[in-house]
């Protein structure tokens, strides 16, 4: 099993270049999700996709046929109706609200993927960073991307689409078979059926009037004794009695803002790695930086997962990628690069994400280091 900690939110209107100039290429949504999942595992050490939603007016011309392929890929299609002429903003607003709700309610979601090239999502990305989420942006490779959005996300993924039209896209969702009939309604009950029933008239029976009974005088109630005035107590004594007893509660530890700490890290290496050995040397150079080391020490104390560690690595070496080490995931790249360092990766079971640990603490579930020979032989 793999941990599901990735959420995908697709701005379908932006992906297809707008309702006015709808351009749906021959692409498969399953292929898009596969690319996104592999990119999240490679760059952020993420698991698999937990939820995926696509937002659009799916009744628009052209989208109703493509909707089946989207749903077949496991993506929830969110129907958006606009109450004004601003159809574009309607989908954006619903996407933002759903995304923030998922970020606040589902703690297990650590990586958020926004499939859009629209700069309007920059405030959303910043808010997700405040919630310590790793954010990936993505769109089709030939679409122009907003410069600010590309800089704000932790990474941007250009989607490479194979020219293979999905079979479901060739079939309309709604059947055009004239033999298909809607379910018949039950005939309504008419007033005539009610009128056919005979009405039985009942004779009116006069009831004798009740005689007025004489009122009985009730005995007067004894007047209550006036309460004696209480003696006023000193104000200080009254205040002491009114105050509830205070119980001392233990102070909660302040929550660490990993993204703010990562922003304080300066660039240690600006450029890609030329080989696996170069990648390993860059990681060791990054770990020698005092702020990165402080970040990693706190992360090891908390048992932080790889998406949080990826924030510090991206800040210190923004252009290196695990693919430079000839591996397909960040987990394998770090098992290679962290060898002979004070840090390692550990995992309690197969259904949880690896976490950063200190070697000298002898933690349980430490993953074995990988050598270059192990990587070339494909050792897992």
What DSSP string runs through 73-97?
Answer: TTPEEEE---SSS-HHHHHHHHHHH
* Residue scoring higher pLDDT (99 or 182): 99
What DSSP string runs through 309-378?
Answer: HHHHHHHH-TT--GGGGT-SSHHHHHHHHTTTSSEEEE-SSTTS--EEEEGGG--TTBPPP--HHHHHHT
Give residue for tokens 């399953």.
30
Distances (CA, A) of 177 to 67, 174, 182, 299: 19, 9, 12, 60
Residue 219 lies in a domain: no
pLDDT tens per residue, range 41-98: 999 999 999 999 999 888 876 777 788 889 999 999 999 876 555 556 788 999 999 9
At residue 301, the pLDDT reads 93
Structural domain boundaries, residue 98: 4-167
At residue 246, the pLDDT reads 57
Residue 236 has pLDDT above 80, yes or no: no
Residue 9 lies in a domain: yes
Residue 196 lies in a domain: no
Residue 177 lies in a domain: no
At residue 182, the pLDDT reads 42
Mean per-residue pLDDT for 310-332? 90
Q: Based on the domain organization, do 153 and 262 belong to the same domain?
A: no
Secondary structure (3-state) at 228: coil
* Residue scoring higher pLDDT (345 or 88): 345
Residue 41 lies in a domain: yes
Structure token pair of residue 52: 């995926």
Query: Can you give the CATH number for the domain in which 133 is found?
Result: 3.40.50.1010
Q: In this structure, what DSSP letter does residue 305 have?
A: B
At residue 189, the pLDDT reads 45
> pTM of the predicted model, to two decimals?
0.74
At residue 378, the pLDDT reads 76
66-104 as b/e, with b when 16 or more CB fall inside 10 Å?
bbbbbbebebebbebeeeeeebbebbbebbbebbeebbe
| pLDDT band (50, 70, 90) for residue 218 | low
Q: Give helix 276-287 / helix 306-316 axis angle, nearest 10°.
A: 90
Q: Based on the domain organization, do 287 and 145 belong to the same domain?
A: no
Residue 35 lies in a domain: yes
At residue 55, the pLDDT reads 93
Q: Among 134, 167, 200, which residue terminates a domain?
A: 167
Q: Based on the domain organization, do 161 and 298 belong to the same domain?
A: no
At residue 271, the pLDDT reads 92
Share of the chain above pLDDT 90, in %: 52
Give residue for tokens 């055009």.
176
Q: Among 167, 201, 225, which residue terminates a domain?
A: 167
At residue 110, the pLDDT reads 95
Residue 45 lies in a domain: yes
Count of H-run helices and E-run strands, the chain: 14, 8
Mean per-residue pLDDT for 132-149? 92
* Residue scoring higher pLDDT (217 or 4): 4
Identify the weakest region by mean pLDDT among 75-79, 175-179, 209-213, 341-345. Answer: 175-179
Mean per-residue pLDDT for 320-342? 90
Q: In this structure, what DSSP letter does residue 263 have?
A: H
CA nearest neighbour of 323 among 18, 32, 39: 39
At residue 85, the pLDDT reads 54
Give yes or no for a contact between 310 and 42, defined as CB atoms under 8 angstroms apart.
Answer: no
Rounded CA gap, 8 and 138, in Å? 10
Residue 152 has pLDDT above 60, yes or no: yes
pLDDT tens per residue, range 268-291: 999 999 999 999 999 999 999 999
Mean per-residue pLDDT for 6-18? 85
Rounded CA gap, 257 and 252, in Å? 15
What DSSP string runs through 160-215?
Answer: P--S---GGGGS-SS---TT--PPPPPPPPPHHHHHTSPPPPPPP-PPPPPPPPPP
Q: Based on the domain organization, do 267 and 368 belong to the same domain?
A: yes
pLDDT tens per residue, range 289-305: 999 999 999 999 998 99
What is the tally of structural domains in the chain? 2
Average of per-residue pLDDT values in the chain = 80
At residue 190, the pLDDT reads 44
Q: Among 167, 198, 218, which residue terminates a domain?
A: 167
Residue 17 lies in a domain: yes
């Amino acid at each position: 099993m793999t941990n599901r900690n990735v959420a995908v939110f697709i701005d379908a209107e932006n992906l297809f270049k707008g309702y006015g100039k709808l351009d749906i290429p021959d692409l498969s949504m399953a292929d898009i999700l596969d690319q996104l999942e592999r990119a999240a595992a490679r760059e952020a050490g993420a698991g698999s996709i937990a939820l995926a939603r696509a937002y659009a007016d799916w009744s628009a011309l052209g989208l109703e046929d493509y909707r089946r392929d989207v749903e077949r890929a496991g993506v929830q299609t969110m129907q958006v109706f606009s109450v004004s002429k601003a159809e574009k903003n309607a989908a954006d607003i619903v996407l933002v609200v759903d995304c923030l709700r998922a970020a606040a309610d589902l703690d297990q979601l650590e990586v958020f993927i926004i499939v859009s090239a629209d700069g309007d999502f920059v405030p959303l990305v910043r808010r997700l960073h405040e919630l310590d989420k790793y954010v990936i942006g993505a769109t089709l490779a030939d679409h122009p991307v907003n410069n600010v959005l590309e800089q704000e996300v932790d990474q941007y993924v250009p989607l490479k689409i194979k020219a293979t039209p999905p079979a479901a896209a060739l079939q309309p969702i709604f059947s055009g078979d004239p033999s298909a009939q809607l379910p018949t309604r039950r005939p309504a009950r008419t007033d005539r059926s009610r009128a056919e029933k005979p009405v039985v008239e009942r004779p009116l029976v006069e009831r004798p009037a009740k005689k007025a009974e004489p009122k009985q005088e009730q005995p007067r109630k004894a007047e209550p004794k006036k309460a004696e005035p209480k003696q006023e107590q000193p104000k200080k004594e009254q205040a002491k009695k009114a105050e509830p007893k205070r119980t001392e509660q233990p102070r909660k530890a302040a929550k660490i803002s990993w993204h703010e700490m990562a922003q304080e890290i300066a660039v240690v290496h600006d450029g890609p790695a030329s080989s696996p050995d170069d990648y390993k040397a860059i990681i060791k150079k990054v770990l020698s930086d005092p702020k990165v080391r402080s970040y990693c020490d706190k992360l090891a104390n908390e048992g932080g997962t790889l998406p949080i560690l990826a924030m510090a690595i991206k800040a210190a070496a923004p252009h290196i990628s695990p693919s430079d080490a000839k591996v397909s995931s960040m987990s394998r790249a770090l098992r290679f690069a962290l060898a002979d360092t004070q840090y390692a990766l550990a995992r309690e079971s197969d259904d949880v994400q690896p976490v950063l640990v200190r070697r000298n603490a002898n933690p349980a579930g430490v993953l074995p280091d990988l050598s270059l020979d192990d990587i070339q032989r494909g050792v897992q």
